[in-house]
Amino acid sequence: MRDSDSLRDWAGEFQPGKLADADLKLVAVTGDAGFRSYFRTNTQPPFIAALAPPEHEDNPAFVNIAIAMAKGDVHVPKIVAVDYEHGFLLQEDLGETLYLDVLNSKTQSQLYDRAEETLLQIQKLPADSTLFPAYDAALLQRELELFPEWFVGGLLDVKFDVQTRHLFDDLFAVLLDSAAEQPQVVVHRDFHSRNLLVLDDGGVGVIDFQDAVFGPLSYDLVSLLRDCYIRWPQALVEQRVEGFRRKLLAQGQMTLPDSETFLRWFDLMGLQRHLKVLGIFARLSLRDGKARYLDDLPLVMRYVLEVAQRYPETQDFYHWFVDNLEPKILGKAWSQPWQTAGERT
């Protein structure tokens, strides 16, 4: 029996919605970049049945974080039932209206206002180390190492010498120092347009939160505004960054720097995230056979290079990337000029 058939039989025991077990069908829905598979039931109302292999996924953490976020007024899917041994979950269906599908120049203001309010709720969650491990220098460093391993060496087959390794180390130190300067809060870690949904009541649904951590204040904000799947003009991004800083100040719960320093936090946090993402997208293609993520590399490269070009302490890396990696990228099936990646016509 296939795992999806076993999942259907298990879900049918709870008789979700109005259909009997014998009539229950599961229809595959698009999943995330992990090992989980998702299915929608043909019931009224529908539910989402998830197959999350316990050898790959920490399902108890997923459930416990869902409970904690719900208590904090963050609309995550309610857990209906769970079988930890087999990695089966049955949960609320938040619908199919992803932010990515409805974001445009007319809707972005209202949608991002609501997303930022949700983000403020997430950042107010208690710092429970049993739920939210520290997003500390060691973890941030491990993420950064995905860039030389999987993007530079793996995808592009570029060998680098000791001098280049020192260049990476110097850059990584700048990024880690900036992250450590920031107030630490609960971080969703993938707070972007494919993990946010517009609910029927206009609220924001949040999914794919199982990797949440306790880390730098600007991390989720840069995930949202420098989204790997949709790009906005720099002026709009900077306007929203400053608006979010003022929202934080209005809460009166933390001390924040001036606008310029806060934007630097945001930029360098984004550089850390997007270097990691270059490595992750390369790994998804090379190791997991998910080549579709390669098409998103040019926009992520644009984010990396625009920020690296902006600050004196990151410009050596910018020049190294352009001189050594860009020639290797030209001619790839997924390649396009990074200077215009993400532009919409």
pLDDT at 36: 85
* % of the chain with per-residue pLDDT over 70: 96
Q: Which of 11-15, 94-98, 102-106, 205-209 has the lowest mean pLDDT?
A: 11-15
Query: Is the same domain home to 237 and 269?
Result: yes
pLDDT at 85 over 60: yes
Asked if residue 111 lies in contact with residue 99, where contact means CB atoms within 8 angstroms, the answer is: yes
Q: Tokens in use for 36?
A: 């989980």
Give the model's confidence band at 20: pLDDT under 50 very low, under 70 low, under 90 confident, else very high: very low
Residue 323 is predicted with a pLDDT of 98
How many separate domains does the chain show? 2
d(CA 261, CA 265): 6
Do residues 301 and 226 lie in contact, with contact meaning Cβ atoms separated by under 8 Å?
no
CA Rg value for the chain: 21
How big is the chain, counted in residues?
345
Domain match, 115 and 53 both:
no
Q: Is residue 345 part of a domain?
A: no
Helix 137-144 with 259-286: angle, nearest 10 deg = 50
Q: Which of 71, 92, 113 is the C-terminal boundary of a domain?
A: 92
- In the predicted model, is pLDDT for residue 94 greater than 60? yes
Average pLDDT over residues 91-101: 96
If asked whether residues 190 and 114 sit together in one domain, one would say yes
Which residues constitute the domain of residue 51? 3-92
The arithmetic mean of pLDDT across residues 51-64, rounded, is: 92
Helix (H, G, I), strand (E, B), or coil: what is residue 50? strand
What confidence tier does 1 reach under pLDDT thresholds 50, 70, 90?
very low
pLDDT tens, 112-153? 999 999 999 999 999 999 999 999 999 999 999 999 999 999
Region of poorest pLDDT, from 249-258, 270-279, 307-316:
249-258
Compute the distance between CA of residue 137 and CA of residue 59 in angstroms, rounded to an integer. 25
The pLDDT value recorded for residue 9 is: 85
Q: pLDDT tens digit string along 270-282?
A: 999 999 999 999 9
Is 179 found in the same domain as 82?
no
pLDDT score, position 32:
61
pTM score: 0.94
256 assigned to some structural domain: yes
The reply to whether 251 and 221 lie within a common domain is yes
